[in-house]
């Protein structure tokens, strides 16, 4: 269970992006995080990963609180996939990049190669293993970024705009994959039909607060769309 | 800028060939290069004549590995300013100035060539994996890998900024105007810092 209680987040320059966000995410549950540009979706995911400091409230994942003392343990259960895959890939080859996280978690060297291979295969990108992230297409980078997080086997996945850069087929495959993966997922997206394909619940972020809009039925989504467009 | 990116890739692509030298175990190449560079660097400051046979090493290796001389020479040019600075100062301050200057130039040539040959015949991943296996402390290996990656990121960032600039610059010039250079470079540094910060965040997320 990922519990978020009355979470507030401000940027150093004083911008208050989140003012008391509360929700829970169960294991094996996919929730969509919808909100206008600049609503604070990325900020929420960053703070839930312990990258952006919180100024109030609390959060815990599988019973481990988000806080300075327990950050290492807390992060083990959270996997963040960045909005921009270039921020996530930093090693000279995709193989090394995917191996980076498990190595830090202390996975024995003998198990690294099979683990990387398995992860790549589950995403259908085994052929990219030896490539440099500098020479991949946007969509390929996106899948590799997802692979680096999946290889750490987190309990919860936080995905920031996962469909950006994907072609229709890759988008379709990603939806299938997200439905198959056992982790609980919070998916920040502007793609309402993708939310419909993958999520059982919609969370709307606006004015620094999250409200639960229930299941993504046709009626809910078209009401949401009207609300976001502003008429 | 574009050229710099392409050349970085070119050097990398060279490593994908399959000559005798390319197929040597990376550990052997790494140790050879290290021993060679240390030997060259350790020789005295007037050892120009002793150094001459060392020229054989890059020549033989480049022939065996079928490396294009011109490409490596261009890369070598990066080190030239430093070597020239050393050479000129010894011309002025050293009693045997000419010999010392020649020695500095030759030493630079040999060391940089040895390093370039290593890079052009061994793919980077192999080098870092070998270093890891040779029990080089993790922090050095990761720093090396990150440096390598950051050079790419910096060049790409600069390239995309330059493209954006040229698309809207209106003039027909292919290069930045001097008056915009300052803000361009400032922005490049800011963007690179930003990127570096986010990459560091990504590393922390993965247990670094
Ligand atoms: N480093 C920063 N410093 C100050 N303010 C910031 C910073 N990053 C973002 N903001 C501000 O915080 C607010 C929320 O930004 P955030 O990136 O979380 O939005 P978002 O919901 O992810 O938007 P998008 O859909 O465009 O990705 C915006 O108003 C933005 O201007
Ligand atoms: Mg965002």
What pLDDT, on the 0 to 100 scale, is given for residue B9?
A: 65
Q: Which of residues 53-82 of B touch A (CB under 8 A)?
A: none
HSE of A45, CA atoms in CB hemisphere, 13 A: 28
Alpha-carbon Rg of chain A, whole angstroms?
Answer: 17
Exposure letters B131-165 (e unless 16+ CB within 10 A, then b): bbeeeeeeeebbebbbebbbebbbbbbbbebbeee
Q: Is the CB of A11 under 6 A from ligand 1?
A: yes
How many Å lie between the centroid of ligand 1 and the Cα of residue A19? 14
Structural domain spans, chain B: 2-133, 138-205
What pLDDT, on the 0 to 100 scale, is given for residue B176?
A: 64
User: How confident is the prediction for chain B on average, in pLDDT?
Assistant: 78
pLDDT at A88 over 80: yes
> What is the mean predicted confidence (pLDDT) over A163-189?
91
* Candidate from A10, A19, A42 with most ligand 1 atoms within 8 A of CB, to mutate: A42
In A, what residues contact B, Cβ < 8 A? Answer: 46, 49-51, 72, 75-76, 78-80, 82, 84, 86-88, 90-93, 95-96, 100-101, 104-105, 130, 132-135, 148-149, 152
Sheet holding A64-65, edge to edge: A16-25, A2-10, A56-61, A64-65
Predicted structure pTM score: 0.73
B206 contacts A100? CB cut-off 8 A:
yes
CA–CA separation, B37 and B93 (whole Å): 26
Contacts of B208 in chain A (CB under 8 A): 100, 104
pLDDT at A115 over 80: yes
User: How confident is the prediction for chain A on average, in pLDDT?
Assistant: 91
Q: Is B139 on the interface with A (CB under 8 A)?
A: no
CA–CA separation, A153 and A107 (whole Å): 12
Alpha-carbon Rg of chain B, whole angstroms?
Answer: 21
B208 contacts A104? CB cut-off 8 A:
yes
Helix (H, G, I), strand (E, B) or coil at B43: coil
Name the residue facing B195 among A87, A133, A134 (closest C-beta). A87
How many Å lie between the centroid of ligand 2 and the Cα of residue A40? 7
Place of tokens 């270093």: B131
The complex scores an ipTM of: 0.72
> What is the mean predicted confidence (pLDDT) over A72-87?
88
What pLDDT, on the 0 to 100 scale, is given for residue B2?
A: 56
> What is the mean predicted confidence (pLDDT) over B179-201?
77
């Amino acid at each position: 269970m990922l519990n978020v209680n009355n979470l507030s987040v401000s940027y150093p320059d004083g911008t208050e992006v989140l003012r008391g966000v509360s929700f829970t995410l169960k294991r094996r549950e996919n929730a969509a995080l919808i909100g206008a540009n600049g609503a604070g979706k990325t900020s929420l995911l960053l703070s839930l990963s312990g990258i952006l400091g919180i100024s109030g409230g609390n959060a815990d994942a599988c019973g481990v609180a988000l806080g300075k003392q327990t950050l290492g343990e807390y992060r083990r259960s959270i996997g963040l996939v960045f909005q921009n895959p270039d921020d996530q890939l930093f090693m000279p080859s995709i193989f090394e990049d995917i191996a980076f996280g498990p190595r830090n978690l202390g996975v024995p060297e003998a198990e690294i190669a099979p683990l990387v291979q398995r992860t790549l295969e589950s995403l259908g990108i085994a052929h990219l293993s030896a490539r440099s992230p500098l020479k991949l297409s946007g969509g390929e980078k996106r899948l590799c970024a997802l692979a680096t997080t999946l290889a750490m086997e987190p309990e919860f996945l936080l995905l920031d705009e996962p469909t950006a850069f994907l072609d229709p087929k890759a988008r379709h495959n990603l939806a299938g994959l997200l439905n198959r993966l056992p982790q609980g997922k919070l998916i920040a997206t502007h793609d309402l039909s993708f939310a419909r394909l993958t999520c059982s619940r919609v969370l709307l972020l606006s004015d620094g607060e999250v409200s639960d809009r229930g299941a993504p039925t046709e009626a809910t989504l078209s009401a949401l769309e009207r609300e976001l467009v502003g008429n | 800028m574009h050229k710099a990116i392409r050349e970085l890739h070119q050097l990398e692509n060279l490593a994908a060939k399959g000559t005798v030298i390319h197929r040597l175990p990376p550990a052997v190449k790494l140790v050879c290069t290290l021993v060679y560079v240390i030997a060259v660097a350790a020789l005295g400051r007037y050892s120009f004549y002793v150094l001459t046979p060392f020229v054989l090493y890059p020549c033989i290796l480049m022939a065996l590995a079928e490396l294009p001389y011109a490409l490596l020479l261009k890369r070598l040019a990066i080190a030239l300013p430093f070597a020239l600075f050393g050479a000129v100062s010894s011309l002025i301050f050293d009693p045997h100035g000419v010999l010392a200057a020649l020695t500095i130039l030759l030493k630079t040539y040999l060391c940089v060539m040895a390093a370039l040959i290593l890079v052009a015949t061994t793919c980077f991943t192999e080098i870092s994996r070998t270093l890891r296996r040779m029990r080089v402390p993790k922090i050095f290996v990761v720093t090396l890998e990150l440096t390598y990656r950051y050079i790419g990121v910096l060049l790409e960032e600069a390239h995309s900024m330059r493209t954006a600039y040229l698309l809207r610059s209106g003039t027909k010039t292919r290069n930045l105007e001097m008056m915009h250079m300052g803000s361009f470079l400032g922005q490049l540094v800011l963007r690179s810092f930003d990127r570096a910060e986010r990459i560091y965040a990504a590393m922390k997320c993965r247990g670094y």
